[in-house]
Structure 1
Amino acid sequence: MPPTSAHARAPKQGRSRESFERIIAATLDLLGERAYDQITLAEICRRAGVSTGSLYGRVDGKDELLRVVQVRFLAGLAGQFTREADRIAAEARGLEQVVPAVVRGLGALLKDNASLLRAFMLRGTSDPVIGAAGKKSALETFAKFIALLQTCRGEIRHPHPDRAIETGIQLIYATQARFLGLDSIGRLDEAGSWSQFLDDLSDMLLAFLLFRPGR
């Protein structure tokens, strides 16, 4: 059974579990369509085909439901990032291949999940539980891609390769997130400009890792 976290009360019977699964799915669907503040519990229950009593039997309200849904979403996202990191490790060789693969792999997953990531990131500014879970997920994601760049450590010319790798990944993530509007309500740019943007980020990260500062 997929994780639902300590934020929800355990079901007393199979029917309750199935109803709550539909509630989680409906919430994820709606978050992909509209902002959190524009969604009501009544609407979630209608889409899930369950009564509001079923929902309140598992959680105390909308904020707690969102925390449960975030746990489910982040578990699935972690699996996606792990599979992408494994794919890059199997296919890319050397810094000139690994860097663009990392930039594009990270960017593709952020773009594919942009609507939901935006919902949780925006809510995380006012909900410390949501914010802490999001930060933990981001750090775990960084670790996967940092490890990929570490395999090319011998090619890096920067005098502090570990610091350069970590800083580079953080900047790539932050820049992609801003481009996609994950920290604000906005629309994605056109696909063509996104592709060029990823190429530019790849070139900048590669140049940074190969840079020998004079100081």
Structure 2
Amino acid sequence: MNLGQTTKWNLDSKWVVPPQQARSRKTLEDILGAAEKLFTAKGYENTAISDIGTLAGVSTGSIYSRFADKDSILQVIHDSFSKALTDTSADAFSLEEWRNHSAAEIIMAMVDRFFFAYRNYPGILCLIERQRLVNPAVDERARKWNNLSIARFQSLLTGHADEIPHPDTDHAVTVVHYLLHQTLAMTALFEQEKASPPFRLADDRFERDMMQMALRFFGLPDDTGTWTPHAWQRLIGW
């Protein structure tokens, strides 16, 4: 039973009592899958431990034998999601993979990656954004992931300084990263709350507009006509 979207659970996390047997591991995975589904559908605050137990098919006592509290479950879910993204995206960010690509293509890939993430994982990403405001551990982990993502794109653009008119490429990457992050996070939150956002995550025109804005900030001409929609999804990992 895989109730949640995060499938590579980090059961070595400090927030969980590690399983000793295959059956215990399966129970843990069921608990985490149920919790992720409920947290993203009902909200963290509106989900009780008993709700998680009912959906996972385990007793409340069984959950407390593995987790100290509901926050520990949230931490393992976020820790697992972050670790899975980090582990699976290394190949997609290899310098060799991008050696023959232009600066414009790398910048458009940065935009496409954000759209890929928010189109495929809106529930857990909205959960993370909400919890960052009130949960220091979630905020610290999210900051580390954002810094890693920024550093990877800065590294990819290091050899393209002669193509980019902007005087500070590293700064430009940081600005564009957070602009994309905040814009898509708010769009996803609005969509989740049925609040009629001005843009839709599924709209390819919205993505192309964001690419054009990013290219202009770097001082590059509009090259979006060469970009294949949803290209990031075909790259190795994410």
User: TM-score normalized by structure 2?
Assistant: 0.75
Paired position in structure 2 for 1:166 = 174
Aligned counterparts of 1:50 and 1:72: Cα–Cα separation in 2: 21
Paired position in structure 1 for 2:122 = 114
Given candidates 70, 94, 97, the residue that maps to 2:78 is 70
Matched, 1:201 2:210: yes
The aligned length equals: 210
Given candidates 6, 13, 16, the residue that maps to 1:8 is 16
SS of 1:181 mapped into structure 2: helix
User: TM-score normalized by structure 1?
Assistant: 0.83
Tell me, yes or no, if the aligned pair for 1:16 and 1:54 is still in contact at 8 Å.
no
Matched, 1:93 2:90: no
| Matched residue type, 1:162 | D
Deviation string for 1:28-60 (max 9, x for gaps)?
222332211222211111111111111100112
Aligned counterparts of 2:69 and 2:174: Cα–Cα separation in 1: 39
Deviation string for 1:52-105 (max 9, x for gaps)?
111100112111211122111222233454454459944971123222222112
What value does the CA root-mean-square deviation take over the aligned residues? 2.9
Aligned counterparts of 1:105 and 1:58: Cα–Cα separation in 2: 35
| Matched residue type, 2:174 | E
Tell me, yes or no, if the aligned pair for 2:154 and 2:173 is still in contact at 8 Å.
yes
Aligned counterparts of 1:116 and 1:32: Cα–Cα separation in 2: 6
Aligned counterparts of 2:69 and 2:215: Cα–Cα separation in 1: 47
- Closer, same or farther in 2 for the Cα pair 1:138/1:96, shift >3 Å? closer
- Closer, same or farther in 2 for the Cα pair 1:13/1:98, shift >3 Å? closer
Matched, 1:141 2:158: no
Superposed displacement of residue 154, structure 1: 2.1
SS of 1:204 mapped into structure 2: helix
Aligned counterparts of 1:126 and 1:88: Cα–Cα separation in 2: 40
| Matched residue type, 1:204 | M
Tell me, yes or no, if the aligned pair for 2:102 and 2:160 is still in contact at 8 Å.
yes
Aligned counterparts of 2:201 and 2:175: Cα–Cα separation in 1: 27
Deviation string for 1:146-165 (max 9, x for gaps)?
32333422201122222223
Aligned counterparts of 2:204 and 2:95: Cα–Cα separation in 1: 20
Paired position in structure 2 for 1:57 = 65
Correspondences of 1:165-184 after superposition (within 5 Å): 165-181=173-189
Aligned counterparts of 2:111 and 2:118: Cα–Cα separation in 1: 11
- Closer, same or farther in 2 for the Cα pair 1:79/1:11, shift >3 Å? closer
Structure 1 gap ranges (5+): none
Structure 2 gap ranges (5+): 1-7, 221-238
